[in-house]
Structure 1
Amino acid sequence: MRPNTLAEAVTRIQAGEPREVALAEFVDSFDLAASDSDRYAAIEQEPDLTGDVRLDALVGGIAEYLAKQRRLGRVPPWTGGALRRLAEPWFTTSSTSPAMREYLTFASPGEFSSRNIFTEEQPLRRARGPALPRTPAE
């Protein structure tokens, strides 16, 4: 059964479920929600801090990104917390080439780069997710 909230996905990760699986399943649940109010409810509750600074920052970025990309009209206040940001840059690819780092620095959505997380242009795209228009760089 997929996690219905981001907080539930984080709880599953803390219990040993692979991060990639729990977060992907959460995004699927989020995209399949019946309404925007159901989608907001899925990100409204603040997930527990895990002590994994990357995961803690990542879930803040995920919630903000989903709220803005799906035009929910508001972003959960907890996403702006200082513990939801990294002190050092994190490039989410296994490639450490200068060219890849430069690309990720340019392509990362603001919801992630503002947290010092550098990832691909559409980090949460899923096969079943909605087609989203490319928004201008911020």
Structure 2
Amino acid sequence: MRPNTLAEAVARIQSGASQDVVLAQFVDTFDLAQTIEARYITIEQEPALTGDKKLDALVGAMAEYLAKQRKLGRVPHWVGDRARYLDQPWFTVANPTDAMREFLSFSSPAEFASRNIFTEERPLRRARGLHSSES
């Protein structure tokens, strides 16, 4: 079962669920919401701080990015909390070469780069299967 909110996703991660799986499920929940208001509700509640600085910054970046990319018209206030930013750069690719670091520094969306998170150009895209009418 997908988490209904980003706060619920973080709670599941704190309970031992796979971060990658739960965050991907949350993005599905967000994308499947039928209205702008329903989407906003999924990111409105502040997720608990976990003590994992990367995760805390990542969920702030995710909420801000989703709000702006999907044109929700507002960003939750909690994303600006200082605890949602990293002091040191984090490249999300394992063992990046210098060239990869440069590429990620250039291509990362502002909502991630401003938090010192360097990732791909479209970090929250999800693969989608063919609809039954397209098969």
- In 2, Cα distance between equivalents of 1:24 and 1:96: 23
**Deviation of 1:96 (Å):** 2.2
In the other structure, the counterpart of 1:72 is 72
**Deviation of 1:127 (Å):** 1.9
What is the correspondence of 1:15-26 to structure 2 with a 5 Å cutoff? 15-26=15-26
- In 2, Cα distance between equivalents of 1:118 and 1:34: 30
Q: Which has the larger radius of gyration?
A: 2
What is the correspondence of 1:1-138 to structure 2 with a 5 Å cutoff? 1-128=1-128
- In 1, Cα distance between equivalents of 2:22 and 2:52: 16
- What is the one-letter code of the residue matched to 1:23? L
Two-structure CA RMSD over aligned residues (Å): 1.0
Q: Secondary structure at the residue paired with 1:50?
A: coil
- In 2, Cα distance between equivalents of 1:54 and 1:104: 17
In the other structure, the counterpart of 1:131 is none
- In 1, Cα distance between equivalents of 2:80 and 2:94: 27
- In 2, Cα distance between equivalents of 1:96 and 1:109: 18
In the other structure, the counterpart of 2:131 is none
In the other structure, the counterpart of 2:133 is none
In the other structure, the counterpart of 1:133 is none
After TM superposition, which residue ranges in structure 1, 4 or more long, deviate above 4 angstroms? none
- In 2, Cα distance between equivalents of 1:94 and 1:53: 18
TM-score, normalised to structure 1, is: 0.92
Unaligned runs of at least 5 residues, structure 2 = 129-135
**Deviation of 1:34 (Å):** 1.2
TM-score, normalised to structure 2, is: 0.94
- What is the one-letter code of the residue matched to 2:28? D
- In 1, Cα distance between equivalents of 2:104 and 2:95: 11
- What is the one-letter code of the residue matched to 1:66? L
- In 1, Cα distance between equivalents of 2:121 and 2:49: 26
- In 1, Cα distance between equivalents of 2:74 and 2:63: 11
**Deviation of 1:95 (Å):** 3.0
- In 1, Cα distance between equivalents of 2:91 and 2:24: 19
Identity %: 67
